Amino acid sequence: MPPKDGRLVVVSNRIPTGATPSGGLVVALHEALSARGGVWIGSSGAPREVPASGLYEVGQGPYRRLAFDLSMEEHETYYLGYANSVLWPLFHRRADLIDLQPGYAEGYLAVNARLADAIVAELRPADVLWVHDYHFLPLAALLRARGVKNRIGFFLHIPFPAASDVPALPQADDLLDWVAAHDVFGVQTEADVQRVDALVTRVEGDQQRVMAFPIGIDVDVYREAAGRPQVGAQIHRAPDQKICLGVDRLDYSKGLVHRFEGFSAYLDQRRSTDPRAIMVQVAPPSRGDVGAYQDIRDELEMMAGRVNGRHANFDWTPIRYLHRMVPRDDLAGVMRLADVGLVTPLADGMNLVAKEYIAAQDPDDPGVLILSHFAGAAEQMQEAVLVNPYDSIEMGEAIAQALSMPLEERRARYAALLQTVARQDIHWWTQACLAALEDGAGAVAGAV
């Protein structure tokens, strides 16, 4: 990497406020900022009745953290509205769920413009900016309009939409300019790169690079946590009972209803001599203020009731559904106990749970990952049992296959998957993204 004389300026939706950040991405950004110094800018979290007008310092440490407040109205229009009721469904192939309301686009642009003004006041000429996710798509274009010449990179954590879906966005033409304003536009997969390329026409001399950087996890931390005996990670089951596990935010993109249908299809085709399986689904609440999220919760609870009503016995309730957060270490322990990890989103930028499940396995007796073709992770994790989440019969068969898979095959698949997950871990990802951002000329060409 070339010498770094400028600071790193990271912009992300939330900034950690505690002294020791947790979570793979947060820790990786924390480490990158601690190593070279810089500034982390993000929203303060809860909206305020009386928001502060500019950026203000939070916490202390080897780099600065600057927060901005959202007003109640901005929380409605920018965050719940344009970001999570327009961009999120559109980018996850659910244009039917887009909720276009007056004021959403204006609120989104106004928050980004306010942030651009605040950043201009902070920025030094040699700084490099690294902007995260769909909350800040127009930020680079707004900074360019204010004369900012610094290198600006972006990382999109969610899928990039297909060109045929983009016209559902009233700001479709602007989206092209927003993307084009970055020096490096990072996405999760090669398929995303192709979708960006299908939309953004290149002009000669264009220096912009659109590159795939599949995000990873902190494998060692996860493996270690999973190997420790966890008090919270006990699952009551009969000795012959197998466990299928799902862990997702309660979000329509994660395909939870389809997953329950797939598990129900497994139960339908199960012979009486086959192992009895229980499905544990952990799904913490998420964005409960958005209507589409209330609907998915109702639908899922109804589905769990229906499957249990149909298949349960006095000593066996097939689906256990926990609607809450679980501490990371307990989650790792539960993942290790699970014979099958079910990661079956309908659309997902990457999906870190797929990688966490692999890292958590006992190498001598690993479980089997069932992974949707529509998770970004499927591009790297071909040794998983890959499924079409819309086809419940196929998913039922995949569960049957996974539950009876011989140890040798389980080990072979696990070893190949672990190698990929460990090679392109969160540290690799940070380095690869930053190297591309620092260096104009293809230092990490072929990053995938």
282 interacts with ligand ADQ by CB under 6 A: yes
- Catalytic residue check, 157: yes
Taking the C-alpha atoms of residue 235 and residue 191, their distance in angstroms, rounded to an integer, is: 38
325 interacts with ligand ADQ by CB under 6 A: yes
Of 235 and 326, nearer to ligand ADQ (C-beta) is 326
Nearest CA to 67 out of 118, 139, 32, 129 is that of: 118
Of 39 and 371, nearer to ligand ADQ (C-beta) is 371
Taking the C-alpha atoms of residue 231 and residue 81, their distance in angstroms, rounded to an integer, is: 40
Of 262 and 376, nearer to ligand ADQ (C-beta) is 376
Q: How many of the other CB atoms lie within 10 Å of CB of 261?
A: 21
Binders of ligand ADQ in range 154-183 (CB under 6 A)? 157-158
Cβ within 8 Å of residue 109, ≥6 positions away: 138
Q: How many of the other CB atoms lie within 10 Å of CB of 340?
A: 25
- 10 Å CB burial of residue 172 (0-12, 13-18, 19+) is middle
Rounded to a whole number of angstroms, the minimum distance from the CB of residue 85 to ligand ADQ is 16
Q: How many of the other CB atoms lie within 10 Å of CB of 265?
A: 20
Give all strands of the β-sheet with 385-387 in edge-to-edge order. Answer: 319-322, 276-282, 241-247, 340-343, 368-372, 385-387
Helix or strand holding residue 39 (H, E): strand 38-43
Distance in Å from the first CA to the final CA of the chain: 18
- Contact segment (CB under 6 A) with ligand ADQ among 69-77, 161-169, 310-318, 351-359 equals 351-359
- The active-site residue out of 127, 192, 248, 348 is 348
Rounded to a whole number of angstroms, the minimum distance from the CB of residue 443 to ligand ADQ is 22
Binders of ligand ADQ in range 230-249 (CB under 6 A)? 247-249
Q: What is the DSSP letter of 44?
A: -
Which pair of tokens denotes residue 196?
Answer: 């960006």
Q: Quick one: which of 349, 367, 389, 396 contacts ligand ADQ (CB under 6 A)?
A: 349
- Contact segment (CB under 6 A) with ligand ADQ among 71-79, 97-105, 271-279, 345-353 equals 345-353
348 interacts with ligand ADQ by CB under 6 A: yes
Of 169 and 250, nearer to ligand ADQ (C-beta) is 250
353 interacts with ligand ADQ by CB under 6 A: yes
Distance (Å) of CA 204 to CA 180, 201, 207, 316, 365: 13, 10, 9, 65, 54
Q: Quick one: which of 167, 284, 285, 442 contacts ligand ADQ (CB under 6 A)?
A: 284
User: Could you tell me how many residues of this chain bind ligand ADQ (CB under 6 A)?
Assistant: 19
- The active-site residue out of 157, 182, 258, 311 is 157
Contact 362, 386 (CB under 8 A): no
Taking the C-alpha atoms of residue 403 and residue 433, their distance in angstroms, rounded to an integer, is: 38
Q: Quick one: which of 150, 171, 344, 351 contacts ligand ADQ (CB under 6 A)?
A: 351
Q: How many of the other CB atoms lie within 10 Å of CB of 306?
A: 14
- 10 Å CB burial of residue 375 (0-12, 13-18, 19+) is buried
Q: How many of the other CB atoms lie within 10 Å of CB of 231?
A: 8
Q: Quick one: which of 352, 395, 402, 421 contacts ligand ADQ (CB under 6 A)?
A: 352
- Contact segment (CB under 6 A) with ligand ADQ among 6-14, 266-274, 303-311, 352-360 equals 352-360
Contact 103, 74 (CB under 8 A): no
Q: What is the DSSP letter of 242?
A: E
- Contact segment (CB under 6 A) with ligand ADQ among 139-147, 312-320, 348-356, 382-390 equals 348-356
Of 47 and 349, nearer to ligand ADQ (C-beta) is 349
Angle at 249 between CA 98 and CA 23, to 5 degrees: 120
Which pair of tokens denotes residue 281?
Answer: 């689904």
331 interacts with ligand ADQ by CB under 6 A: yes
Taking the C-alpha atoms of residue 161 and residue 159, their distance in angstroms, rounded to an integer, is: 6
Angle at 351 between CA 349 and CA 357, to 5 degrees: 165
Of 284 and 291, nearer to ligand ADQ (C-beta) is 284
215 interacts with ligand ADQ by CB under 6 A: yes
Q: Quick one: which of 41, 350, 403, 432 contacts ligand ADQ (CB under 6 A)?
A: 350
356 interacts with ligand ADQ by CB under 6 A: yes
Of 248 and 339, nearer to ligand ADQ (C-beta) is 248
Rounded to a whole number of angstroms, the minimum distance from the CB of residue 63 to ligand ADQ is 21
- Catalytic residue check, 182: no
Rounded to a whole number of angstroms, the minimum distance from the CB of residue 262 to ligand ADQ is 18
Of 80 and 353, nearer to ligand ADQ (C-beta) is 353
Rounded to a whole number of angstroms, the minimum distance from the CB of residue 429 to ligand ADQ is 9
Of 126 and 325, nearer to ligand ADQ (C-beta) is 325
27 interacts with ligand ADQ by CB under 6 A: no
> Which residues are designated catalytic?
157, 348
Footprint of ligand ADQ on this chain (CB under 6 A)?
Answer: 25, 157-158, 215, 247-249, 282, 284, 325-326, 331, 348-353, 356
